A and B are shown apart, each in its own frame.
Chain A
Amino acid sequence: LAKTTQPISMDSYEGQEVNITCSHNNIATNDYITWYQQFPSQGPRFIIQGYKTKVTNEVASLFIPADRKSSTLSLPRVSLSDTAVYYCLVGTGGSQGNLIFGKGTKLSVKP
């Protein structure tokens, strides 16, 4: 499974757009890129998944360049409730599917 690298922490203010970048230089052809969000004392929550270019849902956008060696999770107009840890994962959906989490990026949104 491809190893991912993301910042340990980020700070932002309410109403700003937040972009969290994840590096995955060894991504394989069949790998998907998936992002999860986790609040304290809760299980992770699936945010978004993509393979290439751009994916958007009601929560976030995911930008993946052509070489797929990195990806950027974009959260528009964050609020205090977006304070959480965000995990970037890379792997193959068709295999066993066990997720390999790193330490994630702790996002702190300030008023």
Chain B
Amino acid sequence: DTGVSQDPRHKITKRGQNVTFRCDPISEHNRLYWYRQTLGQGPEFLTYFQNEAQLEKSRLLSDRFSAERPKGSFSTLEIQRTEQGDSAMYLCASSPGGARTYEQYFGPGTRLTVT
């Protein structure tokens, strides 16, 4: 399977703990995006990378959130000192960029529950 993969699929953590999620994009895609989705809402953009460069961050991405894409391949999203409001589905997507930038391929998501 050459689609976008995310790990873990589910994460339950206690408030105040740190969590890290991983995303493996489609190998030939140079753009990688992180989104967050809560129940009944559409996904909300968090941040995106072109290769290893993080080019944009949403205001939703507080200083407790950090994302990396060290070699322009996989990416990690870390949330420090989790809060109950962080409970959501975290989605990763990749895109070939250029004229096909809006053709994004999403992974299955990581569902985070903060207790």
Contact = CB atoms under 8 A, between A and B. Distances in A.
Interface residues of B, number: 33
Given A32-B102, A46-B103, A103 B41 contact: yes
Q: Which of A49, A89, A93, A99 has the most CB of B within 10 A?
A: A99
Contacts of A98: 33, 45, 48, 56, 58
Given A43-B107, A43-B108, A103-B41, A96 B56 contact: yes
Nearest to B3: A43
A96 B102 CA distance: 9
Q: Which of A42, A46, A98, A100 has the most CB of B within 10 A?
A: A98
Contacts of B104: 44, 46, 97, 99
B45 A93 contact: no
Interface stretch (B66-74, B79-87, B91-99): B91-99
B42 A93 contact: no
A95 interface: yes
Given A87-B42, A94-B98, A45 B106 contact: yes
Interface of B: 4, 31, 33, 35, 40-45, 48, 55-56, 58, 89, 91-93, 95, 97-109, 111
